[in-house]
Amino acid sequence: MIKISPQQYAKSLYQLLTEVAEDKQEQAIKQFVLLLKKNNHLHLGQQIIQAFGQVYCQAENIARVQVATAVELPADKLQQLQKQLESAINQKTEVQATTDASLVGGVKLQIDDTLIDGSLKRKINSLRINP
| Domain that includes residue 12, residue range | 6-59
User: Do residues 67 and 98 touch, judged by C-beta distance below 8 A?
Assistant: yes
**Which strand (E) or helix (H) includes residue 7?**
helix 6-19
Distances (CA, A) of 65 to 28, 51, 95, 117, 129: 30, 16, 5, 13, 29
pTM of the model: 0.70
Residues 88 and 44 in one domain: no
How many domains does the chain divide into? 2
Residues 117 and 105 in one domain: yes
Structure confidence by residue, pLDDT tens digits, 72-118 = 999 999 999 999 999 999 999 999 999 999 988 889 999 988 999 98
Structure confidence by residue, pLDDT tens digits, 51-77 = 999 999 999 999 999 999 999 999 999
